[in-house]
Structure 1
Amino acid sequence: MMRVASCRCGSLRANCSGEPIRLSVCHCRACQQRTGSAFSAQVRFPVDAVTVEGNWLEFVRIADSGREVTYRFCPSCGSTVSYMIDEWPDLIAVPVGLFDEADFPEPAYSIFEKNRQSWVSITGAETQHHP
């Protein structure tokens, strides 16, 4: 199966083959700032299952966890199309909202819930919740 994620202007795409390793949501402040929403939702694929096409810029930051995160984003519209965390170099994350398909499973993890907005409830039967 091939899934395609694209930025808002369509000039940067992530072609993802196969099934994702996991879907997770994150409530950390950095994800809230990146998405402009109360949390982020992303799927992770093996890095060799994703081909990013188009021109991108990279932004690298140190997360609250101390890990280095490298974001690839569209220089035209600013959408983050993928990111990698140095601790997991074999995985690449792609924001769920960039895919046309809406057929992903419920999230496996909900992390940084200490920053979760009080009105947000992640209710997957199998979802693991982490402060």
Structure 2
Amino acid sequence: MGEAPIREAGCCCGKLTIKLSGDPEYVSSCACQACQRRTGSAFGVTAFFKEEQVVGEWGEATVFERIGASGKPLFFRFCPSCGSTVWWEALARPGRIAVAVGAFADKDFPAPQRLIWADYKAAWVEPPNGAPVFPKSP
């Protein structure tokens, strides 16, 4: 068995990075309005890792806190220089780190396995081929 890959996600300017060991537990696309606003796109794509998969964090992050649909806070880590969101934690999912898939800048990164908050998606957004679609959060 080979060694687990080390994956590095970072901001646009390179001042904020996080390294993780191994593959994500799952990858999800989300069309909620909060993800639309966070990404400036029609949806967000997130890779979920266990906390123990974090190898290290470098750089100084600014934290933005908001209340999620669960009623519990989410803590977003973004670069104070370029503004890129790199990762976040949700108190509704303890022990998990959510990382913006685009921050990996890896064309071979695993595809999303589902689409959530589909009730808010743009009409032209299509779910990943064969992936389950949830009107809200599952």
TM-score scaled by structure 2? 0.89
Partner of 1:115: 120
Residue of structure 2 aligned with 1:26, choices 27, 30, 37: 30
Letter of the structure 2 residue corresponding to residue 52 of structure 1: E
Give the 3-state SS of the residue equivalent to 1:48 in structure 2. helix
Partner of 2:51: 47
2:42 is the counterpart of 1:38: yes
TM-score scaled by structure 1? 0.94
Residue of structure 1 aligned with 2:95, choices 90, 94, 101: 90
Whether the 8 Å contact between 1:23 and 1:43 is mirrored in structure 2 is: yes
Letter of the structure 1 residue corresponding to residue 133 of structure 2: H
Gaps (5+ residues) in structure 2? none
Partner of 1:74: 79
Letter of the structure 1 residue corresponding to residue 99 of structure 2: V
Identity of paired residues, percent?
42
Measured on the aligned residues, the alpha-carbon RMSD in Å equals 1.1
User: 1:67 offset after TM fit, Å?
Assistant: 2.7
Whether the 8 Å contact between 2:113 and 2:128 is mirrored in structure 1 is: no
The Cα offsets for residues 109-130 of structure 1, whole Å up to 9 and x where unpaired, read as 21110100001101322x2210
Give runs of ≥4 in structure 1 deviating > 2 Å: none
